[in-house]
Amino acid sequence: MMHEKTITELAAGLQAREFTSVELTQHFLDRIGTLDEDLNSFITITPELALGEARAADARIASGDAGPLTGIPIAHKDIYCTSGVKTSCGSRMLHSFTAPYDAHVVSRLREAGAVMLGKTNMDEFAMGSTNESSFYGPVKNPWNRDRVPGGSSGGSAAAVAARLCAAATGTDTGGSIRQPASHCGITGLKPTYGRVSRYGMIAYASSLDQGGPMAKTAEDAAILLQAMAGFDERDSTCSETPVPDYTATLNDSVEGLKIGLPREFFDAGLDEGVRKSIEEAVDLYRSLGAEVREISLPNTGLAVASYYVVAPAECSSNLSRYDGVRFGHRCDDPRDLEDLYNRSRSEGFGAEVKRRIMIGTYVLSAGYYDAFYLKAQKIRHLISDDFRKAFAEVDVIMGPASPTTAVALGEMADDPVSMYLSDVYTVMTNMAGLPGISIPVAPVEGLPVGLQITGNYFDESRLLNIAHRFQQNSDWHKTMPEGV
List the interface residues with other proteins, window 340-359 (CB under 8 A).
340-343, 345-346, 349, 354-355, 357-359
What is the helix (H) or strand (E) element at residue 362, kind and residue range?
helix 351-364
Number of Cβ within a 10 Å radius of residue 94: 24
Name the residue among 234, 371, 241 with its Cα closest to residue 306.
371
| Annotation says 86 is catalytic | no
Q: Which is nearer to other proteins, 126 or 166 (CB)?
A: 126
| Annotation says 176 is catalytic | yes
81 binds other proteins (CB under 8 A): yes
In one letter, which amino acid is 51? Answer: L
Of 23-62, binders to other proteins (CB under 8 A) are none
Q: Which is nearer to other proteins, 285 or 322 (CB)?
A: 322
Q: Which is nearer to other proteins, 95 or 276 (CB)?
A: 95
CA 42 to chain centre: 15
Binding mask 193-232 for other proteins (x = CB under 8 A): xx---xxxxxx-xxx-------------------------
| Binding test (CB under 8 A) with other proteins, winner from 283, 339, 446, 483 | 339
| Annotation says 77 is catalytic | yes
Of 261-320, binders to other proteins (CB under 8 A) are 299, 301-302, 304-306, 308-309, 313-314, 316-317, 319-320
Q: Mark 144-171 as b/e (b = at least 16 C-beta within 10 Å).
A: beebbbbbbbbbbbbbbbbbbbbbbbbb
Q: Which of 5, 77, 140, 190 is catalytic?
A: 77
Decide if 162 contacts 41 (C-beta within 8 A): yes
In whole angstroms, give the CA distance from residue 448 to residue 482. Answer: 13
| Binding test (CB under 8 A) with other proteins, winner from 27, 55, 263, 330 | 330
Decide if 67 contacts 111 (C-beta within 8 A): no
Q: Which is nearer to other proteins, 39 or 79 (CB)?
A: 79
Of 366-385, binders to other proteins (CB under 8 A) are 366, 369, 372-382, 384
| Binding test (CB under 8 A) with other proteins, winner from 235, 271, 280, 291 | 235
Instruction: Give the E-state strand segments of 66-112 in sequence order.
Output: 73-77
In whole angstroms, give the CA distance from residue 275 to residue 162. Answer: 26
Of 406-425, binders to other proteins (CB under 8 A) are 416-417, 420-421
95 binds other proteins (CB under 8 A): no
236 binds other proteins (CB under 8 A): yes
Number of Cβ within a 10 Å radius of residue 417: 10
The CB-of-317 to other proteins minimum distance in angstroms stands at 5
Q: Which is nearer to other proteins, 32 or 432 (CB)?
A: 432
Decide if 27 contacts 2 (C-beta within 8 A): yes
Decide if 286 contacts 261 (C-beta within 8 A): no
Q: Which residues are known to be catalytic? A: 77, 152, 176
